């Protein structure tokens, strides 16, 4: 069965600032990436997604773009970019770029013009409103704390920024703005890039009239989600983008869509009427926060495996044959999965492999975030001054000042959820600064790099790296992994997540233990087979072992083909 290449691919995300520094300024760069293509080839991934490399004042590390057609000076030049793209294509890797068009930087010339006067032809490229009763135009909060509105003295109006005040929201209601974005997208695609990851793309159509959103808690500004996620014109805008741009190229497109339901996922990714190949949904990464809390994602609670199963199973089931899933546990906004869902101490290696197995055997396109393939872990810097991420710094201020939390309490939440967990530099080897830079790194390294690093992992056949390599190869060898349907098993078991994938008469049995205990696994008697052939696992297994009743080891994962 032949199909779209992006269904059969494994994507690797690079956060360029933290990947590899070639010139000793402490900041990763494009030439650093060129130097690591052999590593990526050895891992066996097919596609590289680069977090933004465009010109940016770096209020949000590149997610605030001041020129969509220029490269950030710290990362190199357009010539470096062209060389990187050519080098990737020469070795069979595809390149997907980040597209950040819900907002720009406030230093983008469009915004500089827009804020200069109400009469500017660029005024309506952004969302301006007058205040209400001496206050902001509505109760929307920014995802990065505080109001989503900023008063601007030049014209006496407020502009909308769902993220930082240096990230004003673009006004997608304005046709000229949309046309400019499509022209810019075609310019990159004509250069030969292989697709886009679209930042918070389901936020581009806001509720008409920008009304107050529902009040869920006592906070002065409320989450704007209900008023901005999947708004009334979203599908129309995406459809236009598809006609004007995407249909003309053979590309991978993935929309980042916080708050998306499976129905939204189908609307956006259905091959007949959707516009994008897949979405990054957020349900599974929101499960370890108390819903509706004023503290948002910082209201941490333990993950209930039952919640994870129900959520993943719903996405697997609802999109099968109707759309396409992305599969991820990790990215530059999320804590390290081995610390979050596994055990980053005694069972670091076992649990990192178990999580990889759980994810890579599902239906969808898997994404690996840099360092995940090494089992990199969260960090715990004692001082808030060692953190860089503006979301984290704003949240620390809010937690300690508004909510009166102690330093320790606020830091405990940051250790669990902060975005810098994922952004500490890539750990290449045991030399100073992990071989990331010869200078002073822009963000401190995780002090465990002498033990956890790529050189060690590549030399150890039992490492997480080599296990991921095998997971990637299995997807290429067994169509059931790409195309098979999905049925959960032992749905009520509190520690074991098991499922069956079926394609014709090929059946794949996946068994994962999400705990440090030794739970018993009993195969449902309705599943009959003559022989179970082990495909991969994170402990040695006896090929002749009867698998109807097993005692699993801590964080054990096993995959079998049933004949
Ligand atoms: C989602 C990105 O992944 C995140 O890093 C960024 O801060 C926001 N969108 C705003 O662009």
Give the C-alpha distances (Å, rounded to integers) separating 360 from 64, 86, 123, 377, 379. Answer: 32, 29, 46, 20, 25
C-alpha 243 – ligand 1 centre gap (Å): 26
CB of 6 sitting under 6 A from ligand 1 = no
Give strand pairing partners of 532: 562
C-alpha 30 – ligand 1 centre gap (Å): 20
Does 1 score more than 80 pLDDT?
Answer: no
Does 487 score more than 90 pLDDT?
Answer: yes
Nearest Cα to Cα of residue 512 among 496, 492, 493: 496
Does 170 score more than 80 pLDDT?
Answer: yes
pLDDT 10s digits, 37-63: 999 999 999 999 999 999 999 999 999
- pLDDT for the residue numbered 544: 85
Region 70-97: mean pLDDT is: 98
pLDDT 10s digits, 384-400: 999 999 999 999 999 99
Give the residue numbers annotated as catalytic, written as ranges.
199, 256
Residues with Cβ within 8 Å of residue 480, at least 6 apart in sequence? 501, 502, 503, 506, 507, 508
Residues with Cβ within 8 Å of residue 402, at least 6 apart in sequence? none
Q: Whose CA is nearest to atom 11 of ligand 1?
A: 63
pTM for the predicted model, two decimal places:
0.98
- pLDDT for the residue numbered 464: 99
Q: According to the CATH classification, is domain 481-562 in 2.40.128.260? A: no
Q: What percent of the chain has pLDDT above 90?
A: 98
Give the C-alpha distances (Å, rounded to integers) separating 404 from 40, 216, 411. Answer: 46, 21, 13
- pLDDT for the residue numbered 3: 73
Confidence of residue 338 (pLDDT cuts 50, 70, 90): very high
**Residue bearing the bigger pLDDT, 543 or 325:** 325
CB of 333 sitting under 6 A from ligand 1 = yes
Nearest Cα to Cα of residue 170 among 220, 104, 71, 121: 104
CB of 199 sitting under 6 A from ligand 1 = yes
Ligand 1 pocket mutation, candidates 59, 169, 333, 422, criterion most atoms within 8 A of CB:
333
C-alpha 207 – ligand 1 centre gap (Å): 21
CATH fold for domain 109-160:
Oligo-1,6-glucosidase; domain 2 (3.90.400)
Does 514 score more than 90 pLDDT?
Answer: yes
Q: For CATH 3.90.400.10, list the domain ranges present in the chain.
A: 109-160
pLDDT 10s digits, 181-228: 999 999 999 999 999 999 999 999 999 999 999 999 989 999 999 999
CB of 59 sitting under 6 A from ligand 1 = no
Does 10 score more than 90 pLDDT?
Answer: yes
C-alpha 420 – ligand 1 centre gap (Å): 13
Residue found by looking up tokens 């309490």 in the block: 409
Concatenated DSSP letters for 475-488?
HHH-HHHHH-EEEE
- Apex 18 CA angle, 14 and 19, nearest 5: 55
Say if CB 244 and CB 267 are below 8 A apart: no
Ligand 1 pocket mutation, candidates 13, 161, 200, 279, criterion most atoms within 8 A of CB:
200
Give the C-alpha distances (Å, rounded to integers) separating 297 from 305, 334, 414. Answer: 18, 11, 10
- pLDDT for the residue numbered 2: 56
Region 408-430: mean pLDDT is: 98
CB of 498 sitting under 6 A from ligand 1 = no
Q: Whose CA is nearest to atom 6 of ligand 1?
A: 63
Give CA–CA dist 326/262, Å, rounded: 12
Does 329 score more than 70 pLDDT?
Answer: yes
- pLDDT for the residue numbered 513: 98
Confidence of residue 288 (pLDDT cuts 50, 70, 90): very high
- List of E strands, 298-361: 326-327
CB of 163 sitting under 6 A from ligand 1 = yes
pLDDT 10s digits, 497-511: 999 999 999 999 999
C-alpha 53 – ligand 1 centre gap (Å): 14
DSSP 8-state class, residue 207: P
Region 423-428: mean pLDDT is: 99
Backbone dihedral angles phi then psi of residue 262, each to the nearest 5 degrees: -65, -30
Does 239 score more than 60 pLDDT?
Answer: yes
Region 288-307: mean pLDDT is: 96
What's the chain's average pLDDT? Answer: 97
- pLDDT for the residue numbered 391: 97
């Amino acid at each position: 069965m032949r199909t779209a290449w992006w269904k059969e691919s494994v994507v690797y995300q690079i956060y360029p600032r933290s990947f590899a520094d070639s010139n000793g300024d402490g900041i990763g760069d494009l030439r650093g990436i060129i130097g690591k293509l052999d590593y990526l080839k050895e891992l066996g991934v097919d596609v590289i997604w680069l977090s933004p490399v465009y010109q940016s004042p770096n209020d949000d590390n590149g997610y605030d773009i001041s020129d969509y057609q220029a490269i950030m000076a710290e990362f190199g030049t357009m010539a470096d970019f062209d060389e990187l793209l050519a080098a990737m294509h020469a070795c069979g890797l595809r390149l997907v770029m980040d597209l950040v068009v819900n907002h720009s930087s406030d230093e983008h010339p469009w915004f500089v013009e827009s804020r200069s006067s109400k009469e500017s032809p660029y005024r309506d490229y952004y969302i301006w409103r007058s205040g209400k009763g001496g206050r902001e135009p509505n109760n929307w909060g920014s995802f990065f704390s505080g109001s989503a509105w900023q008063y601007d003295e030049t014209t006496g109006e407020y502009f909308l920024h769902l993220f930082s005040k240096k990230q004003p929201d673009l006004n997608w209601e304005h046709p000229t703005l949309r046309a400019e974005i499509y022209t810019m997208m075609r310019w990159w695609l004509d250069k030969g890039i292989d697709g886009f990851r679209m930042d918070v793309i389901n936020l581009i159509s806001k509720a008409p009239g920008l009304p107050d959103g529902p009040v869920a808690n006592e906070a002065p500004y409320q989450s704007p989600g209900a008023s901005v996620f999947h708004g009334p014109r979203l599908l129309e805008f995406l459809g236009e983008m598809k006609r004007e741009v995407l249909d003309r190229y053979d590309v991978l497109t993935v929309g980042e869509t916080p708050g998306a339901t499976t129905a939204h996922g189908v609307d956006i990714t259905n091959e007949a009427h959707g516009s994008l190949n897949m979405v990054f949904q957020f349900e599974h990464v929101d499960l370890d926060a108390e819903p509706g809390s004023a503290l948002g994602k910082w209201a941490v609670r333990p993950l209930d495996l039952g919640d994870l199963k129900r959520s993943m199973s719903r996405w697997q089931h609802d999109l099968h044959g109707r759309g396409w899933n992305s599969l991820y546990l990790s990215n530059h906004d999320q804590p390290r999965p081995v610390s979050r869902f596994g055990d980053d101490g005694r069972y670091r290696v076992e649990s990192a492999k178990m999580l990889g197995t759980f994810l890579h055997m599902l239906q969808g396109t898997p994404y690996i975030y840099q360092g995940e393939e090494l089992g990199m872990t969260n960090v715990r810097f004692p001082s808030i001054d060692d953190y860089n991420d503006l979301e984290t710094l704003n949240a620390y201020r809010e937690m300690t000042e508004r909510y009166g939390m102690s330093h320790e309490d606020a830091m405990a939440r940051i250790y669990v959820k902060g975005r810098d967990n994922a952004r500490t530099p890539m750990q290449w080897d045991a030399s100073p600064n992990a071989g990331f830079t010869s200078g002073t790194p822009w963000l401190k390294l995780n002090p465990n790099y002498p033990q956890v690093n790529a050189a060690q992992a590549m030399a150890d056949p039992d490492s997480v790296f080599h296990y991921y390599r095998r997971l990637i190869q299995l997807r290429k060898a067994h169509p059931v992994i790409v195309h098979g349907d999905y049925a959960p098993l032992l749905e009520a078991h509190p520690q074991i997540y098991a499922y069956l994938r079926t394609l014709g008469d090929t059946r794949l049995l996946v068994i994962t233990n999400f705990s440090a205990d030794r739970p018993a696994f009993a195969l449902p008697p309705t599943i009959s087979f003559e022989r179970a052939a082990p495909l991969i696992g994170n402990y040695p297994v006896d090929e002749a072992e009867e698998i109807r009743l097993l005692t699993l080891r801590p964080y054990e994962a096993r995959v079998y083909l049933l004949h």
